[in-house]
């Protein structure tokens, strides 16, 4: 609620616009006035926003050395701009060979990321990225780490998940996050 208040009380229109962009919120939700709701704990997280609208775009920013103000120089996970542009071009070319029944076609992810939707991120991550990212990282462990994520996401998307699979997903994500933090 502090972020929403900051947006509402911004001193100028341009400051307000910057805060809206930074926080992803335009102000205090009307529902916040209801005493029976507690923001954000009254609302469950959803897969679409957690994975397709957050994790994957942030991974792309990380891989391209644009994630936050971190020092990405000489890191093995950074994909060189020329290579990332090539990945984008190959991604765009894939549109001609993927049937529309598989979902929305994915544009050049390097130059048209603003056109990406949750569905397009899902299609790219699950079907295109495993191919176009292979051999693109300076160190293979980053590709393996990504493929571990793909496997976990595919498990999460199954129509039936038994307890054994749920345990595998739980352990897998713990391991994936620990690998990411290294």
> Which pair of tokens denotes residue 111?
């130059």
Q: Which residues contact 91 (CB under 8 A, 6 or more apart)?
A: 106, 107, 108, 109, 110, 124, 128, 132
Query: Is the domain of 129 the same as that of 176?
Result: yes
* Domain span holding position 17: 2-33
Half-sphere exposure of 120 (CA within 13 A, CB side): 17
Residue 100 and residue 175 in one domain:
yes
Query: What global pTM score does this model have?
Result: 0.74
Q: Is 17 a member of any domain? A: yes
Domain count, the chain: 2
What are the pLDDT tens digits along the chain (182 aa)? 677 777 778 888 888 788 777 777 776 667 777 777 776 677 767 888 889 899 999 999 999 988 887 776 777 788 999 999 999 999 999 988 888 888 889 999 999 989 999 999 999 999 999 999 999 998 899 999 999 999 999 999 999 999 999 999 999 999 999 988 87
Q: Is residue 38 part of a domain?
A: no
Within this chain, do residues 71 and 15 fall inside the same structural domain, yes or no?
no
**Domain co-membership, 10 together with 91:** no
Same-domain status, 8 and 65:
no
Contact 77, 62 (CB under 8 A): yes
57 and 13 inside one domain: no
């Amino acid at each position: 609620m502090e972020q929403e208040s900051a947006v509402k009380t911004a001193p100028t229109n341009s400051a307000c616009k910057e805060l809206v962009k930074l926080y992803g919120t335009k102000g205090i939700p009307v529902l916040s006035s209801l005493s029976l709701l507690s923001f954000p704990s009254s609302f469950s997280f959803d897969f679409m926003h957690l994975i397709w609208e957050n994790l994957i775009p942030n991974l792309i920013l990380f891989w391209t050395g644009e994630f936050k103000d971190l020092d990405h120089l000489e890191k093995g996970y950074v994909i060189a701009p020329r290579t990332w542009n090539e990945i984008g071009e190959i991604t765009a070319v894939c549109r001609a060979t993927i049937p529309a029944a598989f979902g929305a076609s994915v544009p050049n992810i390097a130059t048209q990321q603003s056109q990406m939707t949750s569905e397009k991120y899902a299609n790219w991550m699950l079907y295109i990225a495993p191919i176009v990212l292979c051999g693109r990282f300076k160190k293979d462990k980053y590709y393996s780490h990504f493929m571990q994520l793909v496997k976990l996401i595919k498990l999460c998307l199954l129509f039936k998940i038994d307890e054994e699979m749920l345990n595998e997903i739980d352990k897998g994500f713990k391991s994936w996050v620990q690998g990411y933090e290294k």
